């Protein structure tokens, strides 16, 4: 068969049924063969969004998403989306067309060295110079993407390779990859530390999500009566209404998560990389804190200087061994009682009936309409942090956002990828007016594919997060952040064939959301929110927890109010 047919056949053998892409001259052979393929092609309106849609699909399903672009500018447009997936360990198969092998290096029309451009933002790269290399590239690439720390794999496909035939029998060859390195020698020491711990806590990141370790995290937490704080990528790993769930830690995290982080004596970090946005200043952690760091990536495990036990391996497997090793469950302790008291304290009033509409009220009313199994995607900025701080997610993999790279424009195309994977579920993108305008053309894709996603637009006329920094740290010297002449988003959405409604009063919110989720077409809720309302609390970068800006937060109004407690553990039988 021709190389182009082999590409599709190899994907079909992996169970791929959808591909997000945009055609061009050198990928025409693939598009011609797509007419006879079982793979459905979703035509995006910009290649960056093809990568974001494939990424959203991957995060919602745990299976690699596939995106395709032509050579030159088509391929370079993919780069931001691929870098976003790489930063958050999301598995993609990234396919790019390329000029013919005889023209490589000759500055041919639409030639770009995409192989080199993709190298720093992918797990592995293939440039296929002979059609006989296709089976190895696709089979080995797929396994690389999903084994160990997941991530995108790029395959560059010269047009002459796509047009040349190869023996069908080659497609049956297998190309295994080595099992990821693991070192589980620290499990027994981890069990000992946790058995003796007086104030244990779990810090859970995206690695636990990719490992499908939700049940193990919850089991270990309940055995130890250890509170669970998450990075943004770990949000929802256990139901956030669970009595041991503290919510997100970090710059815009919850104060109880921050206090547990600083007061624990043993911390189990599970698939968390201690980024500057989640862990704050290393110097704040007491010298006595012992960290057990579990990560599948040897470069991440043990990165924090307080690490006492370093375990390299799949989070689910490691936690199962630790749980078996403990075998006992703690009764209520002074530490668990303190967490209960702090949790009651950290229960914000979001039902703020003021005009202009407060973002807290938007999240409050959205929460009343969302089903337990709804998928929430976000853009990047204040809208993202309102959602991460105040929404209470009940299921893992249902909060989908750009964490490591912080990519504006991620949420809307990602929500389309999620909706394709889960057509029967509610899917909402919580957006800002700055982010949405980067990818608004994908309303055409959502309408054309009959994917009725809901966009909850927090429209404040500004690049809100940058404005907040200018307000708090630059004496309100606003520069380059006023989104003057914003479009009429309702008319814009309707121009694409979607439906939309404008909301300017808090009393209108719930009915607007109910209408949106009943819609058979994509729906935009254009909510005009107060630009002066900052997302707080906020621990400024490089500052200590004593310098947190609280705003409306009860901690600023009332102080801690939690009594000093003698931390004494009590152990019961299993």
Q: What is the pLDDT of residues 305-325, one digit of tens each?
A: 889 999 999 999 999 999 999
Fill in the DSSP letter of residue 455.
E
Nearest partner of 412 among 362, 376, 463, judged by Cα: 376
Say if 104 falls within a structural domain: yes
Continuous H helices in 88-213: 114-118, 134-146, 159-163, 187-196, 206-210
pLDDT at residue 330 in the model: 83
Say if 555 falls within a structural domain: no
Three-class SS string for 220-269?
HHHHHCCCEEECHHHCCCCCCCCCCEEEECCCCCCHHHHHHHHHCCEEEE
pTM: 0.95
List Cβ<8 Å contacts ≥24 apart for 219-225: 219/319, 219/323, 220/268, 220/319, 220/322, 220/323, 220/326, 222/329, 223/323, 223/326, 223/328, 223/329, 223/330, 224/194, 224/197, 224/200, 224/326, 224/330, 225/330, 225/331, 225/332, 225/333, 225/335, 225/336
Query: Of the residues 172, 199, 233, which one is the last residue of a structural domain?
Result: 172
The CATH number for 268's domain is: 3.40.50.1220
pLDDT digits (tens, 9 = 90+) for 436-464: 999 999 999 999 999 999 999 999 999 99
Assess whether 310 and 400 both reside in one domain: no
Say if 547 falls within a structural domain: no
Say if 103 falls within a structural domain: yes
Average pLDDT, the chain: 94
Q: Reduced to 3 states, what is the DSSP secondary structure of residue 565? A: coil
pLDDT at 562 over 70: no
Assess whether 372 and 521 both reside in one domain: yes
pLDDT at residue 571 in the model: 34
Burial 261-270 (b: 16+ CB within 10 A, else e): bebbbbbbbb
Assess whether 18 and 112 both reside in one domain: yes
What is the mean predicted confidence (pLDDT) over 384-397? 97
Say if 206 falls within a structural domain: yes
pLDDT at residue 27 in the model: 98
Assess whether 133 and 280 both reside in one domain: no
pLDDT at residue 550 in the model: 86
pLDDT digits (tens, 9 = 90+) for 217-229: 999 999 999 999 9
Say if 181 falls within a structural domain: no
Number of structural domains (the chain) is 3
pLDDT at residue 402 in the model: 98
Assess whether 47 and 125 both reside in one domain: yes
pLDDT at residue 557 in the model: 55
What is the mean predicted confidence (pLDDT) over 383-410? 97
pLDDT digits (tens, 9 = 90+) for 251-294: 999 999 999 999 999 999 999 998 887 776 677 888 899 999 99
pLDDT digits (tens, 9 = 90+) for 65-94: 999 999 999 999 999 999 999 999 999 999
Report CA 505 to chain centroid distance, whole Å: 31
Assess whether 373 and 301 both reside in one domain: no
Residue span of the structural domain in which 220 resides? 187-346+565-572
pLDDT at 559 over 70: no
Assess whether 506 and 407 both reside in one domain: yes
pLDDT at residue 405 in the model: 96
Assess whether 418 and 328 both reside in one domain: no
Assess whether 226 and 159 both reside in one domain: no
Assess whether 437 and 414 both reside in one domain: yes
pLDDT at 572 over 50: no
pLDDT at 566 over 50: no
The CATH number for 151's domain is: 3.40.50.970
């Amino acid at each position: 068969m021709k190389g182009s047919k082999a590409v599709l056949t190899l994907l079909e053998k992996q169970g791929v049924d959808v591909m997000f892409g945009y055609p061009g001259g050198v990928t025409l052979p693939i598009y011609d063969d797509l007419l006879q393929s079982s793979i459905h092609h979703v035509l995006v309106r910009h290649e960056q969004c093809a990568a974001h849609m494939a990424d959203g699909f991957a995060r919602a399903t745990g299976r690699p998403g596939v995106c395709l672009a032509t050579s030159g500018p088509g391929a370079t447009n993919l780069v931001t989306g691929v870098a976003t997936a790489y930063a958050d360990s999301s598995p993609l198969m990234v396919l790019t067309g390329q000029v013919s092998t005889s023209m490589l290096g000759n500055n041919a029309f639409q030639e770009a060295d995409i192989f080199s451009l993709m190298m720093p933002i992918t797990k592995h790269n293939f440039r296929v110079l002979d059609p006989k290399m296709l089976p190895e590239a696709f089979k080995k690439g797929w396994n690389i993407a999903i084994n160990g720390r997941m991530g995108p794999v790029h395959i560059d496909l010269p047009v002459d390779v796509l047009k040349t035939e190869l023996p069908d029998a080659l497609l049956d060859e297998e190309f295994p990859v080595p099992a990821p390195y693991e070192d589980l020698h620290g499990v027994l020491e981890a069990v000992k530390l946790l058995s003796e711990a007086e104030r244990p806590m779990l810090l859970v990141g995206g690695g636990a999500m990719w490992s499908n370790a939700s049940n193990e995290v919850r089991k270990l937490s309940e055995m130890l009566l250890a509170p669970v704080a998450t990075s943004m990528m770990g949000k929802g790993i256990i139901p956030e209404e669970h009595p041991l769930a503290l919510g997100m830690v970090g710059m815009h995290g919850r104060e109880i998560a921050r206090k547990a982080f600083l007061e624990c004596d043993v911390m189990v970090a599970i698939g968390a990389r201690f980024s500057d946005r989640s862990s704050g200043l290393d110097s704040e952690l007491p010298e006595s804190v012992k960290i057990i760091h579990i990560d599948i990536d040897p470069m991440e495990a043990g990165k924090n200087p307080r690490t006492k036990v370093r375990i390299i391996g799949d989070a689910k497997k490691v936690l199962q061994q630790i749980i078996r090793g403990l075998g006992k469950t703690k009764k209520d302790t002074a530490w668990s009682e303190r967490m209960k008291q702090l949790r009651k304290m950290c229960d914000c009033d979001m039902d703020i009936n003021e005009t202009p509409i407060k973002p807290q009220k938007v999240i409050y009313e959205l929460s009343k309409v969302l089903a337990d199994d709804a998928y929430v995607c976000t853009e990047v900025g204040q809208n993202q942090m309102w959602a991460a701080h105040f929404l209470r997610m009940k299921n893992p993999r249902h909060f989908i956002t750009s964490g490591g790279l912080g990519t504006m424009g991620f949420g809307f195309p990602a929500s389309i990828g999620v909706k394709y994977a889960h057509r029967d579920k509610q899917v909402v993108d919580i957006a800002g007016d700055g982010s949405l305008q980067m990818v608004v053309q994908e309303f055409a894709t959502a309408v054309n594919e009959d994917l009725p996603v809901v966009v909850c637009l927090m429209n404040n006329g500004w690049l809100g997060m940058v404005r907040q920094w200018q307000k708090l740290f630059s004496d309100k010297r606003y520069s380059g952040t006023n989104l003057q002449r914003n479009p009429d988003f309702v008319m814009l959405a309707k121009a694409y064939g979607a439906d939309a409604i404008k909301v300017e009063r808090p009393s209108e919110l719930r009915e607007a959301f109910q209408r949106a989720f009943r819609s058979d077409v994509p729906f935009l809720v254009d909510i005009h929110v107060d630009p002066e309302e900052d997302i707080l609390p906020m621990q400024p970068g490089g500052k200590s927890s004593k310098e947190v800006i609280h705003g409306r937060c009860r901690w600023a109004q009332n102080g801690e109010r939690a009594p000093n407690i003698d931390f004494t553990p009590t152990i019961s039988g299993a």
